[in-house]
C-alpha cells in the first residue's frame, strides 16, 4: 500500500494557523510551505489570509490543564478506565471519533506526556473517559494517581479515513477491534449509529481479555474472543465479509494487524477506517516522531495529516 496525505486535521480550527505556518511548513497551504502561488484544495477560510491577519503569527496553542479524576475502574491487572472532569467546551470538542489527549502525572515533567484515545464523552456532565493499558514507564507513572492528571488537547487525528466514516449513512458496517483499541472504536460506533448505519462488531480480546465495547454500546457482536492472527480467525472474518454485505470496515489495532488483514478485506471494495498507530509525541507536527513517507519520499506528519491508503 502507498500513502497520500495533504489534509490537515486542524485546518480551519481554533488552532490554525499553527507553528508550521510560522516555520513555512504548513500542511495544507501551498503559500505557507514556500510556493509562490496557491494550489491548495482547502475550501474553508484562507489560511494564508488568516496568517497575515494575525501579523504573520500562529493562533493560540493548546494548553495543559489539570483535570480532576472523577473515578478509576480497574479491569484485570493492566487496564484502568479513568473518568475525568474537563471544561464543557473541551468535552464537546472531544466527541469526534479519533479524538485524543495527552496525559501525564502532574508531579512529572512534560516529557512524560503520552497520547491516549478518548473512549467516551458525557458532555452534559463535562466528563470524558479514557482507557489506559499499563505496561511502560509513562503509564506506570499514572498507575497510582487518584486525584488529578495533567491533560492537553483537543487533538483529532487518532483515526485515518474520517471522511469515509462521516459520509457513510444507512449502510452495513463492520467494526474490528483488538485489545485496548476497543477504546477508540466506541466513538466510531457512536458516529456510525448516529448516521443510521447497522453495525456488527468483531472483538479480539488479545492479552487484555476484556470486552468494553458491549459495556458502552448496544451493537451486534459477531465474535467476542476471536484470534485474528491465526488461520481460523481470518477464515471467520472472510466468511463474515462475504455474507455481510458491508460498505465500510473499521480496524482498530496495530499496524501489524492492519497489514495482516489487508488481503482478507481488500477484494471487497470497502471504505476503510484505521486507527493511527504512529508515534505521537508533540501532536503539533514539530518533533517529527510521527513522520511517514509517501511513494515519492515526501514526509507526512501523521499526527495532523489525514492519510489515504492507495494500492
pLDDT digit string (tens) for 171-185? 999 999 999 999 999
Q: Name the band, by pLDDT with cuts 50, 70 and 90, for residue 41.
A: confident
Compute φ and ψ for 260, nearest 5 degrees: -65, -30
At 3, the pLDDT band (50, 70, 90 cuts) reads low
- Provide the pLDDT confidence category of residue 76 given band limits of 50, 70 and 90: confident
Cell of 269: 471494495
> What integer is the mean pLDDT of 8-21?
96
Q: What is the pLDDT of residue 311?
A: 54
pTM: 0.94
Q: Which of 3-7, 76-80, 109-113, 114-118 has the lowest mean pLDDT?
A: 3-7
- Given a cut of 90, is residue 197 above it in pLDDT? yes
Domains and their CATH numbers in the chain:
2-61+284-310 (no CATH), 64-155 (2.40.30.10), 159-275 (3.40.50.80)
Amino acid at each position: 500500500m502507498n500513502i497520500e496525505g495533504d489534509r490537515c486535521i486542524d485546518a480551519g480550527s481554533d488552532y490554525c494557523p499553527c507553528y508550521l505556518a510560522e516555520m513555512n511548513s504548513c500542511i495544507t497551504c501551498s503559500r505557507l510551505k514556500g510556493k509562490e502561488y496557491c494550489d491548495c484544495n482547502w475550501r474553508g477560510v484562507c489560511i494564508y489570509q488568516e496568517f497575515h491577519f494575525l501579523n504573520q503569527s500562529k493562533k493560540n496553542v493548546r494548553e495543559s490543564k489539570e483535570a480532576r479524576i472523577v473515578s478509576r475502574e480497574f479491569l484485570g491487572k493492566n487496564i484502568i478506565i479513568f473518568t475525568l472532569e474537563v471544561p464543557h467546551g473541551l468535552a464537546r470538542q472531544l466527541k469526534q471519533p479519533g479524538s485524543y489527549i495527552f496525559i501525564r502525572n502532574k508531579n512529572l515533567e512534560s516529557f512524560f506526556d503520552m497520547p491516549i484515545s478518548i473512549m467516551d464523552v458525557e458532555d452534559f456532565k463535562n466528563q470524558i473517559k479514557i482507557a489506559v493499558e499499563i505496561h511502560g514507564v509513562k503509564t506506570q507513572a499514572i498507575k497510582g494517581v487518584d486525584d488529578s492528571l495533567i491533560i492537553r488537547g483537543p487533538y483529532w487525528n487518532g483515526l485515518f479515513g474520517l471522511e469515509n466514516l462521516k459520509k457513510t449513512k444507512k449502510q452495513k458496517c463492520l467494526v474490528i477491534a483488538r485489545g485496548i483499541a476497543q477504546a477508540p472504536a466506541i466513538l466510531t460506533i457512536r458516529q456510525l449509529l448516529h448516521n443510521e448505519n447497522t453495525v456488527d462488531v468483531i472483538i479480539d480480546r488479545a492479552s487484555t481479555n476484556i470486552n468494553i465495547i458491549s459495556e458502552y454500546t448496544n451493537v451486534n457482536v459477531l465474535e467476542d474472543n476471536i484470534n485474528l492472527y491465526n488461520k481460523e480467525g481470518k477464515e471467520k472474518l472472510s466468511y463474515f465479509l462475504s455474507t455481510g454485505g458491508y460498505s465500510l470496515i473499521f480496524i482498530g489495532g496495530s499496524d501489524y494487524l492492519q497489514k495482516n488483514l489487508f488481503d482478507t478485506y481488500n477484494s471487497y471494495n470497502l471504505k476503510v477506517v484505521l486507527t493511527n498507530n504512529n508515534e505521537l509525541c508533540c501532536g503539533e507536527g514539530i518533533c517529527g516522531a510521527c513522520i511517514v513517507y509517501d511513494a515519492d519520499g515526501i514526509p507526512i506528519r501523521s499526527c495532523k495529516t489525514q492519510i489515504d491508503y492507495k494500492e
